[in-house]
A and B are shown apart, each in its own frame.
Chain A
Amino acid sequence: MTEVERQNYDVVVIGAGGAGLRAAIEARQRGLTTAVICKSLFGKAHTVMAEGGCAASMGNVNSNDSWQVHFRDTMRGGKFLNNWRMAELHAMEAPDRVWELETYGALFDRTEDGRISQRNFGGHTYPRLAHVGDRTGLELIRTMQQKIVSLQQEDKAEFGDYEAKLKVFQECTITELLKDDSGAISGAFGYWRESGRFVLFETGAVIMATGGIGKSFQVTSNSWEYTGDGHALAMRAGASLINMEFVQFHPTGMVWPPSVKGILVTEGVRGDGGVLKNSEGKRFMFDYVPDVFKGQYAETEEEADRWYTDPDNNRRTPDLLPRDEVARAINTEVKEGRGSPHGGVYLDIASRMPAEEIKRRLPSMYHQFKELADVDITAEPMEVGPTCHYVMGGIEVDPDTGESTVPGLFAAGECSGGMHGSNRLGGNSLSDLLVFGRRAGLGAANYVESLERKPVVLQSDIDTAARAAVSPFEPSESEGARENPYTLQHELQQTMNELVGIIRTADEIERALGRLAEIRARVRNVVVEGHRQFNPGWHLAIDLRNMMVVSEAVAKAALLRTESRGGHTRDDFPMLDSDWRNKLLVCRASGDDAVVPDVSVERKDQVPMRQDLLELFELSELEKYYTEAELTTHPAAQGDTA
């Protein structure tokens, strides 16, 4: 029988990024005891890296903005595969969530009249992103971290203990979700990174807010934390994932020097006036406006340049097309020999505005290039290329409550799926975290309060989870060679990058699945050295299992979807296919390996969009995405509309 430290909470939030913190604030404000668990130190989650801003149609800079316009932009960006209810809730509630942050102490950049300033970003019709220079994520996470402190101070005043109701467990990794015999969530099992000792959280409700999966790709803007733990744990607990084939490659990552390859260059550079050029000095994006966006973007450089100052009478620059379009365009330019010396293209802001202006608007970009690449972005262009950035796919949830298909398991933020469809617009993640973090907090609170009795953790489950966690220290005698987790991770990343990356073919994906199967067999033979105290090799050995499962989900779904849409581009099926638009690919765990299960994928139809939302679009636009049969209810399709 395994001895473990036991903790008992009404609600357990796994993840201390924007989504997790917002969820925890909500659950605690409902009076429930709440635990927040994170792999890193408190305040270091991925959200801290977000640069450009947080989208909300406050209309502070252009009063024509409204939630309906934001909704439309989000659906277009996702190529109409989005869960429309999530897109609706998100667009409607984002402004309130941003204003709320000001009451927690956030200090966004201001407009002339003292309101929150908003900036342009790809795919957003109006300036919409609340921001603080290019460190918006830091502001978000610090603000919520400080709100948590503020709630803890209230608890200290009332109960004499800062941690009476809300406690952060940092550097603690959850490896398993536990369920009672009715199939409802009963707890979460993990280890303290510092000591390697096990800890059990007994709880009726778990909110997953673990972020993304980008570490499974070699070139990525994501950190070591992004091993898809939430995705994998949820799947193993019986939840379904959707949209896993859609992975966002951000068009502008650093490409040189090699050690920083993949680090993000914010879209804010283009939002504020930076333009993409190829080795011939040409602004190539004008050649890449796809049919579905024809007429919505400027056709000449002159018009594009006028748009920055006179957006009402000019169309925006195609440099600000949705990310999938820009990333593919850069890919093509490089492939056709018009790239920069280190295999990217140029991003030029130096020739577009005075040096001082650049330093003021984009201080951390200036700093980042100066310190890491010896490039002065106020004097010379940056070299940039696509980098794996965000996963649209995630845990399938109820839009209103965030509940997954497993009772008691909720999800919010990047690890949940549906909101962004096939492609996320920049700035829509930070707002997603706030809107759905809060909703998941409420959903979990309601669920816990409705439980008649608290689900019970089975001792046998604890024992199994503990055995699985320490197995890398105890190599099995018989099977193959001892494997090094770092080597396997590298091979996995290479496989995903090369064969299931930005441009895919059936042949390559099949090869990837072959290699993944081989890596999976070797993952069992991973052996780690040393002891359990803060041992990164051991941590990686455990994370690797999750990366395996998630990579398989991505590859298998990518193979099935025989069309190109958003963050899924098939060279062998290059067109958008209307018959695929309302199809979701649902991934589930299968097979008898409990730790690294097989993944099965099924098709499922989405619920058709509500009529009033459908009518927010012109028929002529919908026709580019929908089948004719789906549009018969649109007023314009019913012949003469009275």
Chain B
Amino acid sequence: MSSYQGQFRVWRGDSDGGSLEDFEVEVNEGEVVLDIIHRLQATQTPDLAVRWNCKAGKCGSCSAEVNGRPRLLCMTRMSLFEKDEVITVTPMRSFSIVRDLVTDVSYNYEKAREVQAFTPPGKLQPGEYRMQQEDVQRSQEFRKCIECFLCQDTCHVVRDHEENKLAFSGPRFLMRIAELEMHPLDAADRRDTAQDDHGLGYCNITKCCTEVCPENIKITDNALIPMKERVAGRRYDPVVWLGNKLFKRGK
């Protein structure tokens, strides 16, 4: 495959407003959208703002929307698109704009701070923790999260409802609560706060968050639904009761 001229529309502007701008730019074999943004910076628009760090899908910095879909720019291969297709790159829509593709993601850091931290088991000294692999595995799945906030961006509860941000922590942080709930040695009970302080009830399990997660974490099935079940009270529902037995062994 040789190089070709790709057609790009990139949103440019700041909190006062902005617009899509058209660019024609070289595309080479094997490249990802972030490479193209970098080429724009180096050759046409030196001040085009974008976040990135690892360029390998590991840090979750380069989140944006490509043709309207929330994606990591560094993991979106150009081969996904036709050569003559116009590729539109816009900032994440659920967060306010700082500049160009950079958004204000402070909402996420505020919500992160409100989740009660890991609560160590009182009696164990460092070095005395014993946990079985099968018991840590479920929380480990959630700890793969690279905090790209694409799930937060896509969730319809906040996507077009700024007003819900106050009461709703979003899939990433509801999942964090589930992660701590499933931690074999965590000593706190987070069921009430999940519902009352973090808005678990707003989630109606549409699974859009799961669909955009670049780490392929089953956010809805493995974190949100089990969490909802725990909150709903286990007493009368045998399926949920069984689920709970598996959910948190030996706690």
Contacts and interface: CB of A to CB of B under 8 A. Distances in A.
A622 B54 CA distance: 40
A46 to B, nearest CB: 8
Contacts of A590: none
Interface in B104-144: 105, 109, 112-113, 115-118, 120, 126-127, 129-133, 136, 139-140, 143-144
A529 B46 CA distance: 7
B183 A107 contact: yes
A408 B98 CA distance: 35
Given A40-B61, A115-B130, A138 B47 contact: no
Interface in B25-83: 28-32, 35, 41-42, 46-61, 75, 77
Given A107-B183, A258-B30, A529-B46, A224 B52 contact: yes
B229 interface: no
A368 B56 contact: yes
Majority-rule SS of B interface residues: loop
Contacts of B60: 44
B146 interface: yes
A534 B100 contact: yes
Given A100-B126, A102-B129, A371-B75, A536 B47 contact: yes
Given A110-B133, A194-B98, A535 B117 contact: no
Contacts of A484: 42, 46
B53 A225 contact: yes
Interface string A78-105: 0000000000000000011001101111
Interface of B: 14, 28-32, 35, 41-42, 46-61, 75, 77, 98-100, 102, 105, 109, 112-113, 115-118, 120, 126-127, 129-133, 136, 139-140, 143-147, 180, 183, 186
A623 to B, nearest CB: 38
A132 interface: yes
Nearest to B185: A102
A43 B51 CA distance: 13
Nearest to A104: B118
A135 B183 contact: no
Interface of A: 40-44, 46, 48-49, 95-96, 99-100, 102-105, 107, 109-110, 113-115, 117, 132-133, 135, 138-139, 142, 146-147, 149-150, 152-153, 162, 194, 223-225, 256-260, 263-264, 364, 367-368, 371-373, 484-487, 490, 528-531, 533-538
A19 to B, nearest CB: 17
Q: Which 9 A-B pairs have the closest CB atoms?
A: A257-B30, A105-B118, A150-B117, A530-B47, A537-B46, A114-B130, A99-B126, A534-B49, A486-B42
Given A41-B51, A486-B42, A530-B47, A368 B57 contact: yes
B53 A263 contact: no
Contacts of A225: 53
A260 B74 CA distance: 10
Nearest to B130: A114
A162 B54 contact: no
Given A114-B131, A138-B146, A537-B46, A259 B30 contact: yes
B28 A258 contact: yes
Contacts of B47: 528-531, 535-538
A372 B56 contact: yes
B56 A263 contact: yes
A221 B46 CA distance: 23
Given A41-B61, A367-B57, A537 B41 contact: yes
A102 B143 CA distance: 14
A102 B186 CA distance: 11
A263 B55 contact: yes
A224 B30 contact: no
